[in-house]
Structure 1
Amino acid sequence: MSATDTETMELDFSRADFPDDFVFGTATSSYQIEGSRFGGCGTSHWDTFAATPGNTVRGEDGATACAHYHRWESDLDLVRDAGFDCYRFSTSWSRILPEGRGVPNAGGLDFYDRLVDGMLARGLKPFATLYHWDLPAPLADLGGWRNRDIAGWFADYAEVVMKRIGDRVATAATVNEPWCVAWLSHFMGEHAPGVRDIRAAAHAMHHVLLAHGRATQAMRALGMGNLGLVTNFEYAAPADDSEAAKRAARLYDGIYNRWFLGGVFDGAYPEDVLVGLGPHMPEGFENDFDIIGTPVDWLGVNYYTRKLIAPDGSGQFPALREIEGPLPKTQMNWEIYPEGLHHFITWVHDTYTKGLPIYVTENGMASPDQVLNGKVADPSRIDFLNRHLGAVRRAMAGGAPVKGYIVWSLLDNYEWALGYEKRFGLVHVDFETLERTPKASWHALGRALRR
C-alpha cells in the first residue's frame, strides 16, 4: 500500500449508519495536555511521582505537556473541524484548588469557563470529567485515596467546579477509570502515588466509589442532571483450558470489571474478590453502599484490550499473571480485540445498567506515528476504529442503548509513566515545537462525520 493510499483510507461508516441522536467525540485529560506549570496550577501527586527517579520514562512529566492551557482555542478548532459533536475533557483538581481544599485558584476556574464557552461557540457539547488522576499533593500528604475524608474533599471540589460550569456542560462524570485510581496506583504501584500495599489498595478501591457517590449527590444538589461514572474494562481470557487459569481470569475480571459495577449498581462487592481484600477493607465499608449507589444517568465504558490470565503459583492473592497473547498489538503491546468491546457493552447492559444509556467514553490505540512530508499516515488506527465501531454497531443491533462513541485521544500527549513515546492522538504533536499535524485518521473521521 502506497503512502497516498494510506492517506485516503476511509472509515467503513458514516453518520447515516447511526441514530440521529448518536454523538461522536474525542477526549483528553487535563494533566496529559494542559501543562501543570501554567496558570497557577498546584502541585499534584503526578508531579512528585514523576520527580522521583525511576517512576517515569526519562523522568518525563506533565509540566508542559501539549501546552493546551495556551493553545486551547486552536485545539478546539481541531475537534470542530473533524466533525465531532462533543469534546470530553477533564478539570484539574490541582488547577482549581491548589491545596485540594480552601480558596480556589480564580485563574483555574476562569480557564475552564473559557474552555466550556469555547466548545459551545463551536457547536460542541461539553462532556466534563471531574477527576482524571491529578490529586493535589497536599491531599496526598493526608493519605489521598487511602483516607476516607477524601469523599468529602472530592464532593466539595465538585461543588466548586460545577457552580461555575455546571449550567453549560452536557454531561458530567465523577471519576475516570477507578481501577487505575485504586488498583494500578495502590497495589501495582505503576501510577501515582506509586504504592504497593494491599491495605492501601483495599481502602482506595472503596473510597474512590464513596467519593463518586458523594460528588454525584453534590451535583444533584446543584440541580444538575446527566451525571455518570466512567469505568474501564479489560477482557480477561484464561491463558489455557485449565480450571486454574479459568479461576485466575475470573478473579482478574472481578478486580478489574465487576468490583466497581457491583458497588454502584448492586450495592455489593464480588465475593471472590473480597476473599482477598476483605481483611484489609475499611471498617464498616458495607454501610456506604447507599451513597455509592446514588443513581447515575449513564455509564461510560472505556475499553482498549484483552489480557490472557494464568495463575502465578504463588498462592498469594491475587496469584495471577498476564501471558502475552497471539493477536496483533498496539504500540502499548496491547492486543487488538474488538470483540471485547461488544462483550462489555452487552454484558453491562444485560447485567447492571438494564436500559441506562451507555457511552463508549474512550477507545483508541497508540502507534509510532511520524510526520513525513507534512502528513501522518496511520492506517492501523483507521482499521482499529472501523473494527471497534463495528462492534458498537453489533451491540446496538442487539438492543444495547449506546448513545455515543468517543475516540481517545485528540492529541498525542503525556502517557503517564510511559512519558511521551506512546502516541494515541488523532493529531500528531511535536513535543519540541508543539506543532500539531492532523493524522490520516483525523481526516478520515472528518469525511465520515460530515453532515
Structure 2
Amino acid sequence: MNKYQLPQDSKLRSPEFVFGVATSSYQIEGGVMEGGRTPSIWDTFCKKPGAVDNGDSGDVACDHYHLWKQDIEMIQGLGVDAYRLSIAWPRILPRDGEVNPEGLAFYEQIIDECHARGLKVFVTLYHWDLPQYLEDKGGWLNRETAYKFAEYADVVSRHFGNKVDVYTTLNEPFVSAFLGYRWGEHAPGIKGEKEGFLASHHLMLGHGLAMPVLRKNAPKSKHGVVFNASPGYALTPADQGAADYADAENYQWFIDPVLKGEYPQLVLDKRADVVPMILEGDLDIISAPVDYIGINYYSRNLVHFDEQGDVKKVIPEGAECTYIGWEIYPQGLRDLMIRLNERYDNLPPIYITENGAAGNDEITQNKVNDEQRVRYFQSHLEALDEALKAGVRIDGYFAWSLMDNFEWAFGYCQRFGIVHVDYNTQQRTLKQSAIAYRNMLIERAEEHNNG
C-alpha cells in the first residue's frame, strides 16, 4: 500500500483536520549534559541496574539536540500540518527558581523553524522528565510540585506566548503516576498503592493550576491535557463489572476531575484505602475549562475477574498483536470516542495525540517494509472516520512516533517510529508507513488546492 485510503466523504479529507507526528524530549533529544540542562528523574532512573532494558538511556537518543533542523525538514517533507513535541523541564528550570535562557532559545529555534515551514506547533509541558531536584523533595508525592509545575508553565508561556499554537499541560498522567509511583516500572521507580494515587492527584492539581496561567500568557493559543485510554471490554457477560472498573481506573480517574469536577465513584469505593486527601477547592482548580483533550490510543483492555476478584487483562487467542504483544484492535478507537461522547456532556474537541505500533523493523536494501504498521494505521484511520460519522468532534490525528527513539523502560528494543533510526550513525530512513502517510497527505493537499 503506497498510501492510506481515506473514504471520499470523510472529514479526514478536510483541510481543517490536522494531521501530524509526535515526539517527546527525553526520548529523542540526547544532549543531556548540554545547554545548561540538569538531570531529570529519567537520567537517574536509567542508572539503576536493571531498571531499563540493556542498561539503555536517553543520553544520546536520536541526537535531536544537534540534528533538530534536519529533523524538522524531514517532518515538513512528510506533508503533515503539525508537529507535537515536548519541552524538557530541566532545560528550562535547571535549578529551583533559575530560568535557563539557553534552554528557552533551543526550543524557540525549533518553534520558529516549524512556523517558517508552515507547521503548527503543539507543545507538551510535561512528558515525564521531572527535574531531579524536585524528586529529591518528594516529586509528585509532594503537593508543592503541583505549584512548581504552574511556575514552570508560567515561565514557558510568558516566553513563547501565542507563538505556540496548542499547549498541553500533561501527557498521560496515568503513566507518570501509576507506572512511576505505584508500580515502579518507570522513573522514579517507587512502588506503593497510596503513592500512585497521591501522585495522580498532585499531577491533576498541577494541570489545573497551570490552566489559568497559560490562558493569561497565551490567550490566542489552545490549552488542554492529554490522556492515554484503553477502553475496557468484558471477556464474558459476567465480567462487565471488570470492564467498567478498568475504564474507571484506566482513564476516567484522570478525565472525570477535569470534565466533571469529581473522581469516579467506582474507584473511590473500591480503593477507599488508598484514595489521597483531596483538599477543599482542589476539584474546582482541576476542572478549569479546557479547549481540547488529547487521547493516546494503542489497544483495548479485554478483562475478567480472577479467582481473587481482581481485574485481569487477557489477549484473546488468535488475535493479531504487535511486536511487543499489544493486541491490534482498531474498533476500540471508534468505541472509545463514542463512549467519551456519551459520558461527558461538555466534551471538548478531541485530538488523537498518539496512535501507533511497535515493530521489529529492519532495513533491507535501504527500505523498511513495516507492513503490519501500514495496516495498523489504515485500520485506525478507518475507525476514526467511523467515530467522526457517529458525531464525535475530532480535530486532528498524530502518528506516534515520528522516529524510533528511547522507549522508556524498554530502551531501544522497541521501534515505534514511522522513520527508522540507525543509532550508530543517526541515519534516518523513511519506513513504508511514513511513505504511505506522506502520499496520503500530498493527495489530500492536491485535492484541496484543485478545489
The answer to whether TM tops 0.5 is yes
Instruction: Decide whether the 8 Å contact of 2:162 with 2:218 is kept in 1.
Output: no
Cα deviation, residue 262, structure 1: 0.9
- Structure 2 CA distance for aligned equivalents of residues 258 and 11 of structure 1: 32
Structure 2 residue 370 is matched with structure 1 residue 378:
yes
The corresponding residue for 1:64 is: 60
Q: Which residue of structure 1 lines up, in the alignment, with residue 330 of structure 2? A: 338
Which of 402, 412, 421 in structure 2 is aligned with 1:410? 402
Kindly tell me: are residues 32 and 14 of structure 1, through their superposed partners in 2, closer, same or farther at Cα, counting changes over 3 Å?
A: farther
Equivalent of 1:169, from 135, 143, 164?
164
Matches within 5 A, 1:8-27: 9-13=2-6, 17=10, 18-27=13-22
Identity %: 42
Give the Cα–Cα distance (whole angstroms) in 2 for the partners of residues 129 and 367 of structure 1: 25
CA contact (8 A) 1:57 1:419 kept: yes
Residue 121 (structure 1) aligned with residue 116 (structure 2): yes
Q: For residues 236-247 of structure 1, what are the structure 2 equivalents within 5 Å?
A: 236-242=232-238, 245-247=239-241
Query: Quick one: distance in 2 between partners of 1:191 and 1:307?
Result: 21
Match of 2:243 among 237, 244, 249: 249
Q: Secondary structure at the match of 2:397?
A: strand
Aligned equivalent of 1:401, options 383, 393, 401: 393
| 1:46 pairs with one of 42, 46, 58 | 42
Counterpart in the other structure of 2:314:
323
| Shift in alpha-carbon separation, 1:14–1:30, aligned structure 2, 3 A | farther
Hey, what does 2:382 align to over in structure 1?
A: 390
CA shift in 2, pair 1:144/1:15, >3 Å: farther
**Structure 2 counterpart of 1:171, which letter?**
V
Counterpart for residue 292 of structure 2: 298
Is the contact made by 1:301 and 1:345 (CA closer than 8 Å) also made in structure 2? no
Distance 1:314 1:54, change over 3 A: farther
TM-score, length-normalised on structure 2?
0.94
Aligned residue number for residue 4 of structure 1 = none
Q: Which amino acid aligns with 1:253?
A: D
User: 1:15 Cα deviation (Å)?
Assistant: 9.2
TM-score normalized with structure 1 length: 0.94
Q: 1:355, 1:400 within 8 Å by CA — same for their partners in 2?
A: no
User: Among 60, 77, 81, which residue is 1:81 paired with?
Assistant: 77
Counterpart in the other structure of 2:214? 219
The structural deviation recorded for 1:360 is 0.6
Give the superposition deviation at 1:259.
Answer: 0.8
- Looking at structure 2, the residues matched to 56 and 215 of structure 1 have their Cα atoms a distance apart, in angstroms, of 31
Q: Is the 8 A contact 1:33 1:66 kept in 2?
A: yes
Letter in 2 for 1:136: P
Match of 2:361 among 362, 369, 388: 369
**Structure 1 counterpart of 2:189, which letter?**
G
Unaligned runs of 5+ in 1: 1-7
Residue of structure 2 in register with 1:196 after alignment = 191
Q: Give the one of 379, 396, 419 matched to 1:427.
A: 419
Contact 2:86 2:127 in 1 (8 A): yes
Deviations 1:175-209 (A, max 9, x none): 00011011122222111111111111121111111
What value does the CA root-mean-square deviation take over the aligned residues? 1.6
AA aligned to 2:2 is M
Q: For residue 16 of structure 1, report the CA deviation from its aligned partner.
A: 7.8
Q: Deviations over 1:388-427 (max 9, x none)?
A: 0101111111111111111000010000000001111010
Q: CA deviation at 1:355?
A: 5.3
Amino acid at match of 1:352: Y
Post-superposition shift, 1:258? 1.1
Provide closer, same or farther for how the CA distance between residues 82 and 284 of structure 1 changes in structure 2, counting only shifts above 3 A: closer
CA shift at 1:276, angstroms?
Answer: 3.8
- Once the two structures are TM-superposed, the CA of residue 275 in structure 1 deviates from its matched residue by 2.2
Provide the secondary structure at the position in 2 that maps to 1:257.
helix
Structure 1 equivalent of residue 231 of structure 2: 235
Q: Distance in 1 between matches of 2:146 and 2:177?
A: 14
